């Protein structure tokens, strides 16, 4: 009789490469495709065979699922955010947590700069204007200049640093974070102070209890009616009600958002606003980076199953 293969629960879709390689290593159960009764039946019958949960940073691993898997040994996150995993619970249960740092910062930074240019120059709206056949029928309104703007970076980690390097040729860069760093950019201890000194505020800090709704009405008011907000971090960092109100009343000039509080739900007020550029959480969504992320996930899963050291584990 052949030895039973370990089970990996897959909590969201991945690239064809990653899914294929997972299937070579584990019996993969596509958890996100199972109706609730089938999920419960699977836990009742096979929970003890589940050794790995493979998930996305926007989903993580719910506490009730982690608690229901007695043999769970590793949670592998295809992303860098760990805010959707209870690290204290994982540590208490001896569950390792890994993610994919060091491979996606450049592509996230590229998208952030694209969003900055896109929202200030109204590129998506201009594209729609041409596609609707309105060019020649009416004048296109003037947009806003990018060069010479003051850029505030909220969170000068790996991603924030990559964004700062790209934006510095356009205009002066400042930053805020938990501590001052040895960088050639002015530091602001408070987010309101950073917003007040910025024309464009780019959010790239981690999502956690201390940053939940960190960017609310006071920060948006400080950014001002000529200011722009760009978010490539997590939707929970921004108070969406305060943001939509500011856009509707002209207290903020515009916003470009890759992430939202309740993905994939995007409030109608944001979808309808001509002041907003929207993308569907695609900052790391390139063929090249997703391949690198997949390879790092697979290396860590292989190392875990062989009892070898993991690459850059969270815990």
Write out the catalytic residue numbers.
Answer: 234, 263, 281
What is the per-residue burial (b if ≥16 Cβ within 10 Å, else e) of 231-240?
bbbbbbbbbb
Closest CA to 89 of 125, 62, 129: 62
* Residue 112: half-sphere exposure toward Cβ, Cα within 13 Å: 29
Query: Contact at 8 Å (CB) between 126 and 140?
Result: yes
Cα angle: 31, vertex 35, 36; to 5 degrees: 90
- CA 298 distance to own-chain centroid: 21
Identify the three-state secondary structure at position 135. strand
- Report the candidate in 112, 99, 84, 292 with the shortest Cα–Cα distance to residue 200: 112
d(CA 116, CA 128): 18
Burial class of residue 262 in the structure, from the number of CB atoms within 10 Å of its CB (0-12 exposed, 13-18 middle, 19+ buried): exposed
Smallest CA-to-CA distance from 227 within 69, 116, 68 is with 116
Q: Which two tokens stand for residue 203?
A: 């959010």
Q: The dihedral of CA 260, 262, 268, 269: what is its sign? A: negative
DSSP for residue 291: H
Torsion of CA 221, 213, 153, 274, to 10 degrees: -60
Query: What tokens were used for 109?
Result: 């930074």
């Amino acid at each position: 009789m052949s030895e039973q293969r370990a089970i990996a629960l897959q909590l969201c879709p991945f690239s064809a490469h990653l899914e294929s390689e997972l299937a070579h290593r584990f019996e993969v159960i596509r958890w996100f495709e199972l109706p609730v009764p089938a999920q419960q039946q699977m836990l009742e019958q096979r929970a003890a065979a589940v050794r790995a949960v493979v998930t996305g940073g926007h989903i993580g691993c719910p506490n009730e699922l982690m608690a229901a898997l007695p043999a769970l040994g590793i949670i592998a996150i295809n992303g860098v955010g760990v805010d959707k995993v209870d690290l204290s619970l994982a540590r208490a249960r001896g569950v390792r947590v890994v993610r994919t740092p060091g491979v996606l910062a450049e592509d996230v930074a590229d998208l952030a700069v694209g969003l900055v240019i896109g929202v200030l120059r109204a590129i998506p709206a201009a594209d729609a204007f041409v596609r609707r056949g309105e060019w020649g029928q009416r004048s296109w309104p003037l947009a806003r200049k990018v060069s010479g703007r003051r850029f505030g970076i909220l969170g000068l980690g790996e991603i924030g640093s990559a964004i700062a390097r790209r934006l510095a040729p356009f205009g002066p860069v400042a930053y805020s974070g938990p501590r001052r760093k040895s960088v050639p950019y002015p530091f602001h201890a408070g987010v309101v102070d950073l917003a007040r000194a910025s024309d464009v505020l780019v959010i790239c800090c981690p999502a956690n209890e201390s940053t939940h709704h960190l960017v609310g009405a006071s920060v948006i008011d400080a950014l001002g009616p000529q200011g722009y907000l760009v978010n490539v971090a997590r939707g929970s960092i921004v108070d969406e009600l305060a943001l939509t109100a500011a856009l509707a009343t002209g207290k903020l000039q515009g916003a470009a958002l890759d992430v939202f509080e309740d993905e994939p739900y995007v409030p109608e007020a944001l979808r309808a606003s001509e002041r907003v550029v929207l993308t569907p959480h695609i900052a790391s969504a390139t063929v090249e980076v997703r391949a690198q992320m997949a390879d790092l996930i697979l290396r860590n899963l292989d190392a875990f199953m062989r009892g070898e050291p993991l690459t850059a584990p969270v815990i």
